[in-house]
Chain A
Amino acid sequence: MDELVVTITRGDACARRTCEYRLPALPGASVMDVLDYIYENLDPTLSYFSHEACRQSACGKCLVRVNGKVCLACGCPAGAGPLVLEPWNEHVVRDLLCE
């Protein structure tokens, strides 16, 4: 089975670490869908913007750095990976959630 490998920079602004997740390929998924999959199935401690997300590239709140480039998690296709996900700015609340 195809596998999607996702590396996420976690922790707060003072203590960062990276975690790797392996999940089944998700055809047609966005980076937001990948994060939801990890939160729901692999790691319920993951933080990212999801509490009031439009999921249609309209609210602009789900910014994340995907393979070095800042984009909206909901509007960015996950593709076949691998994905390296980092906070989009330095004001990290936790994991991928920034101020």
Chain B
Amino acid sequence: MNNNELSCNVLVVGSGGAGLRAACEACAQGASVILVSKGRVNRSGATLLAGANVSADVMCDGASLWRMGVASADPTDSPERWASDILCEGFFLNRTDLVEQYVSQAPARVEELLKAGANVTAADEGGRQIGVPGSSILDVLFRKASASDRLTVLQDTTLCGILPAADGSAAGALLLDIPGGRLISVRAGAVVLATGGMHGCYTFNSGTTGLCGEGHAAAMRMGARMSLMEMVTFCPDVICAPSRFRGSILPYILQCMGYGHLENRLGEDFLSKYLSPGAVELALGSEWNKLLLSYAMYREAQAGLCDEHGGVRFSLRGLTPARRAELEETLPQLRRGIYAELMALHDRQGGLSVSAAGHYFDGGIAVSADMATSVPGLFAAGECTGGLFGANRVAAATTQMLVQGAQAGQSAARFALSAGPRTPDPAALEQLRAEVLAPFSCTGGESPRRLRSEVSEIISRSAGIVRCERDMLLGLQQLAQTDRPVTLSQKERAANRGWLDYLEARSLRACGEAILRCSLARRESRGVFMRSDYPMTDNDGFLCETVLQNGKVSLHGITQPAAEPGRFDYFDYLERVFLRLSYAPEVTVQ
């Protein structure tokens, strides 16, 4: 044994909220845990940027929240009512076992976050939620995880692949220590994937640079079932330019709080061109704004009415001085650091160029309510899983990671401690090592950076906000052509960015193919998923889960009494479903 060969009971890959919470739980169950972080352990992944690191929604049913002493919570709410809302929000594609697990476990997770001293920035956000900055959630979880002497942390380390045992179960993983250039093989009794989203698939996204779907890709290579991979949420109001602020969702957070308005490059309001009056109200006054505003921005770009950066203008100009002062009072973060600079830029320009960016991945690795994947010994939690939120996530990614992380940590620890040590298949390890090291022995290949950019450009073009068969078939064909040899300019393994680009391109290509294959199979429009060639929501033909396994897509019908039979105009249906939400009366729909 040397430090390139490690072993543990539970290997947790990813150190955002889901990974940290899984590590805490697995340690508490008595397992030895290795926690792998692609960056800095308590400052990586999408958790850090949740709610622009100002105020991320943390949710549970109002009655439970009220019992915790949150005065704004709705004591008449219940887990059942919340579950029914989540099904409507997800346009009935949610896995009901995951929804039940989620609503029943959320109160305990939220309460422990509060008791551990998370910094609550907004407690008056409506009946079911409080606001906590992403960094505060990470701090609380990391403090708890580091208290265990059973935890080993590997930072600046990425996942190259999962190592199977001879029987095909997960028995560890091959990792790359990025600065050191060392390949590390880990033997584990169980593996938890908590690698977050596939943000790198999109050239314009709101994630950190490291979110490249490594967990999704590794699970697919193991033959794991994937669920609803076509469902991708775009966030509107993400800053396009200048490049220094590109990717920030701050304008979206401000808009959700009721501040600011949007206009095209001619200074016109454009939402009513593409949305009915009722849908405009939902776009401006509800959390269904992500899909509606993203759609309107897409149409405006198609119409050639965006600025030179491809964005529309988000502006606070219409605010009275008193409202502006109120905003800065509510969010004191706007008065310091990067956000103060951003506000100054806004004031100089009279607005900010914003557009819709790849933001949250509703689909992912299929899990059961104990967070087990279809591969024995392999568990998953948080954004890299699929199914909980169906076709549209509203409430809430931060709570998902806490609930699913704790469950995955517990299940993985129990599995590992009862199944005992496992041995990766040596042939599989050698094959994976050879694949990972291939670019070092290849001459005459291409630049890995160029190939990685090409992969995300293809996915962005073919699997964007509104998709069609022709573009997607072309996209699949073009993606297949990116599987070309690469050559590294830097020959040393340590701190080799080109090598990482090669590995990331490999994961992104697999994720893009999965998104496209599942999108092609769903011949309708529903929730965040829109097709120009199949614009109706079709409960007769597509009230089903798209399952991808070993490269093949199958459709599995869902029995959901709440979903009425029929085919509906996408926007009419969206408004109708909205009216069934328990919180609908708070927004006046015409």
Chain A residues with CB under 8 Å of chain B are 26-30, 33, 39-40, 44-47, 50-61, 74-75, 77, 93-95, 97, 99
Instruction: Please tell me if the beta carbons of A53 and B49 are within 8 angstroms of each other in the complex.
Output: no
Q: Is the CB of A33 within 8 A of B244?
A: yes
Docked complex Cα distance between A61 and B180 (Å) = 16
Tell me if B330 counts as interface (CB < 8 A to partner A): no
Contacts of A57 in B (CB 8 A): 337-338
Q: A26-B243, A53-B39, A93-B495 are in contact. List 8 more A-B contacts (CB 8 A).
A: A44-B447, A51-B209, A52-B40, A52-B156, A53-B209, A54-B49, A61-B39, A75-B338
Q: Given A33-B244, A54-B48, A55-B247 in contact, is the A93-B449 Cβ separation under 8 Å? A: no
Interface of A is mostly: loop
Q: Are A30 and B244 in contact (CB under 8 A)?
A: yes
B426 interface residue, CB < 8 Å from A? no
8 A-B pairs with least C-beta separation: A28-B242, A52-B39, A52-B210, A59-B43, A30-B244, A47-B495, A44-B489, A94-B495
B500 touches A51 (CB 8 A): yes
**Cα(A54)–Cα(B396), bound, Å:** 21
Partner of A51, one of B39, B43, B180, B489: B39
The interface of chain B, by Cβ under 8 A from chain A, is: 37-40, 43-45, 48-49, 52-53, 135, 156, 158, 178-180, 208-210, 241-248, 337-338, 447, 449, 453, 489-490, 492, 494-498, 500
Q: Is A28 a contact partner of B243 (Cβ separation < 8 A)? A: yes
Q: Verify B39–A59 contact, CB threshold 8 A.
A: yes
Q: Is B210 a contact partner of A53 (Cβ separation < 8 A)?
A: yes
Chain B minimum-CB-distance residue to A57? B338
In the bound complex, CA of A53 to CA of B210 (Å): 7
Contact between chains at B48 and A58 (CB < 8 Å): yes
Establish whether residues A54 and B208, one from each chain, have CB atoms under 8 Å apart when the complex forms: yes
- Report which of A33, A39, A59, A97 forms a contact with B495, defined as CB distance below 8 A: A97
Task: Assess A29 versus B500: contact at CB under 8 Å? Given A45-B490, A52-B210, A58-B49.
Answer: no
> Are A56 and B247 in touch, CB under 8 angstroms?
yes
Q: How long is the Cα–Cα vector from A51 to B495 in the complex, in angstroms?
A: 10
CB distance from B13 to the nearest CB of A (A): 13
Chain B residues whose C-beta falls within 8 Å of the C-beta of A33 in the assembled complex: 243-244
Given the interface pairs A28-B244, A54-B43, the reply to whether A59 lies near B497 with Cβ below 8 Å is no
A56 touches B248 (CB 8 A): yes
Decide if the interface of chain B is mainly helix, strand, loop or mixed: loop
Contact A51 B210 (CB under 8 A): yes
A37 to chain B, nearest CB (A): 9
Closest chain A residue, CB of each to CB of B337: A57
Residue of B nearest to A72 (CB): B338
Taking the nearest CB of chain B, how far is it from the CB of A97, in angstroms?
5
Q: Which residues of A contact B242 (CB under 8 A)?
A: 27-29
CB-based nearest A residue for B242: A28
A53 partner, pick from B158, B208, B498, beta carbons under 8 A: B208
Selected from A44, A51, A77, A95, the residue in CB contact (under 8 A) with B449 is A44
Contact B497 A47 (CB under 8 A): yes
How far apart sit A29 and B242, CA to CA, in the bound complex (Å)? 7
Cβ-defined contact, A93 with B447, below 8 A? no
Instruction: Tell me the nearest residue of chain A to B447, going by C-beta.
Output: A44
Q: In the complex the two chains form, is B43's CB within 8 Å of A58's CB?
A: yes
| Complex Cα–Cα for A41 and B179 (A) | 22
A98 to B492, CA, bound (A): 16
Distance A46 CA – B52 CA, assembled complex (angstroms): 30
> CA separation between A77 and B156, bound complex, in Å?
26
How distant is the Cα of A40 from the Cα of B53 in the complex, in angstroms? 29
Give the Cβ gap from B248 to chain A, nearest Cβ, in Å: 6
Q: Are B449 and A59 in contact (CB under 8 A)?
A: no
Taking the closest CB of chain A, its distance from the CB of B237, in whole angstroms, is: 15
Chain B residues contacting A99 (CB-CB under 8 Å) are 179
B-chain residues with CB within 8 Å of residue A51 when the two chains form the complex: 38-39, 156, 158, 178, 209-210, 497, 500
